């Protein structure tokens, strides 16, 4: 039996844009059922209870052998016209099996000078080059309360300037490389990618 709204997929450009009726030619060849919201901007991917439990309990998003086929199934339903695919778990808070609020996995980058290599794995995901990244948010509220913007910023931000951080205040502490976040170099005001009052 299918579970309604077990995994919410938000297909988006950099900022949410309305979908058109254009779909992939293979829309009937999907492994999952998709329900498009009446606003045509959000689609729910329906999983069985056991598949959803496996996805959450085993962090399917971090496992390429689970993530990539799922995103390919999205492309069996929707045309390749999105820069980002957001997977938002239908949970009130972070499941105990997961350790992150959100995670962005880069799919392609064609921007030079930001501290990241140029790469393109979009064909692995079923995209013809449009897809920049996939993101998972581990609870419904994280789409509007910070983690979404934080993860989206990681597509471009904080790779050019190495920073350091520490785990706690005090004396005799040792800093460590804190890649892609602000750490010590965040100035006196925290931003979406970290930092702390100095």
Helices (H), the chain: 49-57, 64-77, 122-125, 147-153
> Which residues are registered as beta bridge partners of 43?
9, 36
Give yes or no for residue 180 having a pLDDT over 50.
Answer: yes
Could you please report the per-residue DSSP string of 125-176? HT-SS---EEEEESSGGGGTSSHHHHHHHTTTSSSSS--EE-SS-SSS---E
Nearest to 3 by CA among 44, 49, 37, 45: 49
d(C-alpha 33, C-alpha 36), whole Å: 10
Q: Provide the β-strand partners of residue 23.
A: 78
What's residue 196's pLDDT? 58
- What's CA 121's distance to the chain center, in Å? 15
Tens-place pLDDT, residues 22-38: 444 445 688 999 998 89
- pLDDT of res. 64: 97
Confidence of residue 8 (pLDDT cuts 50, 70, 90): very low
pLDDT tens readout for residues 119-154: 999 999 999 999 999 999 999 999 887 788 888 888
pLDDT-wise least confident of 7-16, 96-105, 108-117: 7-16
What are 60-99's pLDDT values in tens digits?
999 999 999 999 999 999 999 999 999 999 999 999 999 9
pTM to 2 decimals? Answer: 0.77
Distance CA 29, CA 86 (A): 21
């Amino acid at each position: 039996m299918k579970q309604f709204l077990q995994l919410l997929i938000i297909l988006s450009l950099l900022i949410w844009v309305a979908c058109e009726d254009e779909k992939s030619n293979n829309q009937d060849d999907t492994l999952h059922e998709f329900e498009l919201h009446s606003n045509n901007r959000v689609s729910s991917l329906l999983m069985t209870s056991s598949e959803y439990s496996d996805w959450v309990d085993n962090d399917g998003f971090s496992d390429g052998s689970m993530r990539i086929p799922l995103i390919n199934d999205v492309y069996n339903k929707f045309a390749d016209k999105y820069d980002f695919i957001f997977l938002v778990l239908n949970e009130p808070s972070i499941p105990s099996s997961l350790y992150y609020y959100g995670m962005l996995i880069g799919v392609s980058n064609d921007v030079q000078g930001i501290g990241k290599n140029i790469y393109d794995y979009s064909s692995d995901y079923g995209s013809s080059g449009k897809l920049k990244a996939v993101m998972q948010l581990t609870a419904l509220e994280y789409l509007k309360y910070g983690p979404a913007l934080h993860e989206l910023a990681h597509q471009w931000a904080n790779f050019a300037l190495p920073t350091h951080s520490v785990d706690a205040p005090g004396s005799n502490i040792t800093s460590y490389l804190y890649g892609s976040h602000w750490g010590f170099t965040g100035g006196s005001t925290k931003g979406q990618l970290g930092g702390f009052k100095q």
